[in-house]
């Protein structure tokens, strides 16, 4: 069984049933896992910032750093791999205020808002969301089973396919 780490500002896709996609330390960043149970295709992204317009040049080099450019590219790649909207199971975590306890920048909240808009515009709904608060989260997606797991504050929560 291979564990594929999705780094910050990164995205990975797999169709190998022995793979598990995992990303660590989602604070204000938002992590999204999308899975198609019929074809066993899954993807995960770890985005830092909501909008690429703050640095268009960086968005060209690292599109997954931003929710707007990263999500569009991930969706395109998943659709090319055979994902169908009607079968997409989407899990979201992160968007907290770990380093912004006063809520000055609200990066986590803004990340989640942009993500929701992108999903809505694409006709996609979230199955699971654990966002906000002030704690870090680690998420994983088992490609063989579609099981999504969130680890946070000593707690582990598993979400199996609906």
Over range 118-147, report the average pLDDT: 96
pLDDT tens-digit readout, 4-25: 999 999 999 999 999 999 999 9
- Computed over every residue of the chain, the mean pLDDT equals 94
Nearest CA-CA partner of 9 in 66, 72, 74: 66
Q: What is the pLDDT of residue 54?
A: 87
- The alpha carbons of the chain give a radius of gyration, in whole angstroms, of 15
pLDDT for the residue 111: 97
Does the pTM exceed 0.85? Answer: yes
Phi-psi region of 79 (alpha: psi -120 to 50; beta: other; left: phi over 0): alpha
Query: Is pLDDT of 103 > 70?
Result: no
* CA 123 to chain CA mean position, Å: 17
Q: What percent of the chain has pLDDT over 70?
A: 96
Q: Which structure tokens are listed for 13?
A: 């896709």
Write a three-state SS string for the chain. Answer: CEEEECCCCEEEEECCCCEEEEEEEECCCEEEEEEECCCCEEEEEEECECCHHHCHHHHHHCHHHEHHHHHHHHHHHHHHCCCCHHHCEEEEEECCCCCCCCCCCCHHHHHHHHHHHHHHHCCCCCCEEEECCCCCEEEEEECCCCCEEEEECCEEEEECCC
| Rounded-to-integer distance, Cα 78 and Cα 10, Å | 15
Crossing angle for the helix pair 107-121 and 67-80, to the nearest 10 degrees: 40
Contacts for 104 with CB less than 8 Å, ≥ 6 apart: none
Give the pLDDT of residue 162: 83
Q: What is the pLDDT of residues 54-86, one digit of tens each?
A: 888 989 999 999 999 999 999 999 999 999 999
How confident is the model at residue 98, as a pLDDT? 72
Q: What percent of the chain has pLDDT over 90?
A: 88
24-40 mean pLDDT: 97
Residue carrying structure tokens 């979230």: 126
Q: What domains are defined for the chain? A: 2-159 (3.30.1330.200)
pLDDT band at 97 (very low <50, low <70, confident <90, very high): confident
- Residue 139 pLDDT grade (very low, low, confident, very high; cuts 50, 70, 90): very high
């Amino acid at each position: 069984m291979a564990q594929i780490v999705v780094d910050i500002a990164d995205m990975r896709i797999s169709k190998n049933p022995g793979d598990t996609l995992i990303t660590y330390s989602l604070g204000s960043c938002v992590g999204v896992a999308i899975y198609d149970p019929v074809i066993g295709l899954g993807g995960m992204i770890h985005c830092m910032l909501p909008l690429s317009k703050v640095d268009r040049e960086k968005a060209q080099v690292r599109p997954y750093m931003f929710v707007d450019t990263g999500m569009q590219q991930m969706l395109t790649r998943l659709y090319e791999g055979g994902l169908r909207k009607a079968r997409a199971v989407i899990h979201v975590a992160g968007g907290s205020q770990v380093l912004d306890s006063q809520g000055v920048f609200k990066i986590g909240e803004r990340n989640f808002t942009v993500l929701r808009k992108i999903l809505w515009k694409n006709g996609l709904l979230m199955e699971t969301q654990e966002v906000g608060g002030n704690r870090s989260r680690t998420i994983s997606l088992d490609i063989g089973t579609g099981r999504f797991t969130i680890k946070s504050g000593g707690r582990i929560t598993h979400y199996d396919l609906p």
